[in-house]
Amino acid sequence: MATDKPVNLLDLDRKAMEAYFVSLGAKPFHGRNVLKWIHKHGVTDFEDMTDLSKKLRASLSACAEIRLPKIVLEQPSADGTVKWVMELADGQRIETVYIPDGNRSTVCVSSQVGCALDCSFCSTAQQGFNRNLTVGEIIGQVWHATRQMGKAPSNVVMMGMGEPLANFDPVVSAMDLMQDDLTYMLSKYRVTISTSGIVPNLYRLREVSDVSLAVSLHAPDNELRDQLVPINRKYPLEELIPACREFIKNDKRRKITWEYVMLDGVNDSIAHARALIRLLEGTPSKMNLIPFNPFPGTDYTSSPPERIEVFRQKLMKAGIMAILRKTRGDDIDAACGQLVGKVQDRSRRSLVSLRRRQPQELVS
């Protein structure tokens, strides 16, 4: 079944892969076999898929492909973190980060080229927005990380470039692939989606996907959060907090992970901590306190370590688990809020390239 444009098999989760092979006149189990070849074994040449017939391999060569993002830069950090810049078929570039932690590892995956939500403390948001990533472009980041590191990651976090819930269907399909027994075999507690709070899609997500949830909170009240996280103007805390509670309902193991970047003199006072405690009362919570990672042009600075610790202790005494997130990869601009890539911003019609720390040839 030849088509003008080859089908990228990387875009297909198990259900879609089975359906595609049935459309070729093959059996669903052939689709499952190919899924395993691609993701578990890292095979991208149909001729190497030896349990497929020659006829089926020829059909695949005529109408399908396995098209991955291309790694154009690898940057290792002094702390073991690795950042990959990946180029997509249209020339856009995204960033993916690998974070080792003893015998465990985490891959931070992007979901969009740029981001449209314009959070004021995030470098990615300052680059503008071009488009959503496809399933293949999302899962391709995990594919590359697995091949580069020699094994599948222990955890995947959808915390790279973009707002995952603004790219709903491809993100859900990619997370399904991450959890599939034929691919990366990650449990629901090992795949985390991070959102700034698109409330209707939080309710949708609960119905179709079983993953862990992290929420970019960053402020304890609407007035401040409107400034830091503009999506709050559309979906204020009175709507966001109940949606988050509903997401973990009936699962006693689950907590909401709240991301809270510590901004000097902005959201780091004891009064802010007290307001957070009131806001989260009755919600099973874990608070990640994140020292602000600077980027060119920002007016923000990170809260002093001693103030962060006072803030953390206040939350802990109120029964909220609060963890100071260790900054990883900041020497290669791979820390939280620093991912940029190369974005042709469709909203501002201006080319925004990788920042000054990137080699010149990358933006040529």
**Set 119, 122, 244, 336: catalytic member:** 336
Q: Which two tokens stand for residue 363?
A: 């933006």
Annotated catalytic residue 95: yes
The one-letter amino acid code at 72 reads V
Pick from 206, 204, 191, 94: nearest CA to 144: 94
- Mean pLDDT to the nearest integer, 89-109: 94
**Contacts with 198 (C-beta within 8 Å, 6 or more apart), sequence order:** 163, 165, 166, 231, 235
Domains of the chain listed by start with CATH number: 7-65 (1.10.150.530), 70-357 (3.20.20.70)
- Mean pLDDT to the nearest integer, 183-201: 96
Rounded CA-CA distance 190/106 in Å is: 9
**Set 95, 137, 163, 259: catalytic member:** 95
Annotated catalytic residue 47: no
Q: What is the pLDDT of residues 123-136, one digit of tens each?
A: 776 778 889 999 99
Whole-model pTM? 0.89
Dihedral sign (CA 225, 227, 230, 233) = positive
Pick from 79, 48, 52, 92: nearest CA to 66: 48
Distance of CA 44 to the CA centre of its chain: 24
In order of 2, 9, 27, 184, the CA distances from 30 in angstroms are 18, 13, 5, 19
Q: Look at residue 267 and give its three-state secondary structure.
A: coil
Q: What is the pLDDT of residues 118-173, one digit of tens each?
A: 888 887 767 788 899 999 999 999 999 999 999 999 999 999 999 999 999 999 99
Q: Count CA within 13 A, CB hemisphere, residue 232.
A: 21
Burial 246-258 (b: 16+ CB within 10 A, else e): ebbeeeeeebbbb
